[in-house]
Amino acid sequence: MSYATMQDNTATPPAVVPKRVAIVGSGVIGCGWAARALAAGCEVVAFDTDKAAAERRVAITIDTAWPSLEKRGLAPTADRHNWRVTDDLADAVGEADLIQENVPERTELKQQVLAAIDAAARPDALIGSSTSGIKPTELQAQCTVAPKRVFVAHPFNPVYLLPLVELVGGAQTSAATIDTAQAMYRGLGMRPLVVRREIEGFIADRLMEALWREALHLVNDGVATTEEIDAAVVYGAGLRWSLMGTFLTFHLAGGEDGMRHMLEQFGPALKLPWTKLKAPELTDELIERVVEGCEHQAAGRSVNALEARRDAFLTDMLALVEQYWPEAEGLDGRI
Ligand code: NAD
């Protein structure tokens, strides 16, 4: 397929803000969705098998997220109190326009939960799964009412700040569902990236896992500490990636002739056996080395304190990306 042909399927539908968003599974990711939806002006109803813990977590996440969301700009109708938690799934999803499933990453559990959501939701409601890598065809397999409205909507932590959401349809997902999903996630202030073909791990997690595997090998082989590896990303490649990603960054590495020269010069090095595609065994020793490394880096700062610092940074960083790519409208092939 030529590049121009692939570019054809890029029109992005206009944003539509869902009125009510249901969150099913209110852990790290579910709470992140709740905060994002509130900032976009939606009403949020959350469901979790542990209602009390969910209530506590949603409240904490909103407290953490709201200063950054205010700085990013709230919808005129945004109300940080417009949410409740229920222990009745039908109550959570029955009147929702968009339902986001965020239960633990186990195929069987997700299949059961999605089938129950499908049975209790309005027939026109959309059902997105936050799965990090399970194929949507598997996820929708037990849905009997309207599996065509079930798809993957894979976000990134913190969901309330990072705009990317990968949309992946399964064998039964309709094209209209993916169109409406693009409009609704844009309504939540996101950048939907429609993954053309259903693959495990989608696009972003495949990239992140490749880096993660190599980083674990470097720790396992005693080449570097977790801190040194993080420094290699933070002060080098990471800064460039946040503006230009991998390909456009390498286009510039080729000098005036861009990517063509870059491939001539560095292409042969790809054949050198630098990287190990197979993951290292997670031995007790490797686990301890990685955990101790991260605790040393955290230097007594709590996860919550680090989250607050990360959020403030991401808020400024997003403004910078927008400043440097003012022409960007959607993920339509250009940054
Ligand atoms: P988590 O463990 O923090 O939260 C899971 C929540 O689901 C818990 O609150 C738990 O009580 C609840 N739960 C368990 N069984 C349930 C059921 N039957 N019905 C309703 N709620 C139930 O997990 P998480 O990190 O929020 O991950 C959730 C999903 O999001 C996973 O599919 C994961 O792969 C995906 N995801 C995670 C990240 C991340 O960085 N953590 C990023 C993107 C996607």
Q: Residue 72 maps to which CATH number?
A: 3.40.50.720
4 pLDDT higher than 80? no
- 128 CA distance to ligand 1 middle (Å): 13
CA of 57, closest atom in ligand 1: 9
Q: Is residue 329 part of a domain?
A: no
Of 64, 23, 73, 63, the residue nearest 43 (C-alpha): 23
Residue 113 beta carbon below 6 angstroms from any ligand 1 atom:
yes
pLDDT at 335: 36
316 pLDDT higher than 50? yes
Of 23, 62, 82, the residue nearest 311 (C-alpha): 62
Residue 144 contacts residue 154 (beta carbons within 8 Å): no
Gap between the Cα atoms of 241 and 236, Å rounded = 9
State the average pLDDT over residues 213-231. 96
Residue 87 beta carbon below 6 angstroms from any ligand 1 atom:
no
Structural domain harbouring 258: 204-300
- CATH (domain of 228): 1.10.1040.10
- 63 CA distance to ligand 1 middle (Å): 20
Which residues are registered as beta bridge partners of 154? 166
What residue owns the CA closest to ligand 1's atom 42?
Answer: 156
**Whether 115 and 258 share a structural domain:** no
CA of 32, closest atom in ligand 1: 26
**Whether 243 and 285 share a structural domain:** yes
Q: Is residue 318 part of a domain?
A: no
State the average pLDDT over residues 288-298. 94
Supply the mean pLDDT for the chain. 92
Residue 136 beta carbon below 6 angstroms from any ligand 1 atom:
no
User: What is the arrangement of strands in the sheet containing 43-47, beginning at the earlier edge strand?
Assistant: 83-86, 43-47, 20-24, 98-101, 126-129, 150-154, 164-169, 191-194
Q: Is the dihedral of CA 161, 163, 164, 170 positive or negative?
A: positive
171 pLDDT higher than 60? yes
At 98-113, the pLDDT tens digits run 999 999 999 999 999 9
pLDDT at 270: 84
CA of 54, closest atom in ligand 1: 9
| Phi, psi (deg, nearest 5) at residue 57 | -70, -40
Number of domains in the chain: 2
pLDDT at 266: 87
**Whether 209 and 165 share a structural domain:** no
At 223-264, the pLDDT tens digits run 999 999 999 999 999 999 999 999 999 999 888 888 999 899
State the average pLDDT over residues 167-186. 97
Of 194, 213, 241, the residue that ends a domain is: 194
Residue 49 beta carbon below 6 angstroms from any ligand 1 atom:
yes
Residue 155 beta carbon below 6 angstroms from any ligand 1 atom:
yes
- Higher pLDDT residue, 248 or 8? 248
Which residues are registered as beta bridge partners of 86? 47
| Phi, psi (deg, nearest 5) at residue 150 | -105, 135
CA of 105, closest atom in ligand 1: 32
Q: Is residue 307 part of a domain?
A: no
331 pLDDT higher than 50? no
**Whether 217 and 78 share a structural domain:** no
Model confidence at 273, in pLDDT bands (50, 70, 90)? confident
Model confidence at 7, in pLDDT bands (50, 70, 90)? low
At 58-101, the pLDDT tens digits run 999 999 999 999 999 999 999 999 999 999 999 999 999 999 99
State the average pLDDT over residues 110-120. 98
Q: Which of 102, 112, 165, 307 to mutate to test the pocket of ligand 1 (most atoms within 8 A of CB)?
A: 102
Please state which of the ranges 107-121, 266-280, 287-301 shows the lowest mean pLDDT. Answer: 266-280
State the average pLDDT over residues 131-145. 97
Q: Is residue 35 part of a domain?
A: yes
**Whether 186 and 215 share a structural domain:** no
CA of 109, closest atom in ligand 1: 18
Gap between the Cα atoms of 154 and 33, Å rounded = 11
Of 149, 167, 194, the residue that ends a domain is: 194
53 pLDDT higher than 70? yes
Distances (CA, A) of 289 to 52, 217, 218, 227, 286: 35, 12, 11, 11, 5
3-state secondary structure of 129: strand
CA of 30, closest atom in ligand 1: 26
Q: How far is CA 58 from the centre of its chain?
A: 18
Q: What is the pTM of this model?
A: 0.92
Residue 165 beta carbon below 6 angstroms from any ligand 1 atom:
no
**Whether 175 and 215 share a structural domain:** no
Q: How many residues does the chain have?
A: 335
**Whether 186 and 45 share a structural domain:** yes
**Whether 179 and 212 share a structural domain:** no
- 114 CA distance to ligand 1 middle (Å): 13
Burial of residue 11 (CB within 10 Å: 0-12, 13-18, 19+) is exposed
**Whether 289 and 141 share a structural domain:** no
Q: Is residue 332 part of a domain?
A: no
- 69 CA distance to ligand 1 middle (Å): 22
**Whether 223 and 275 share a structural domain:** yes
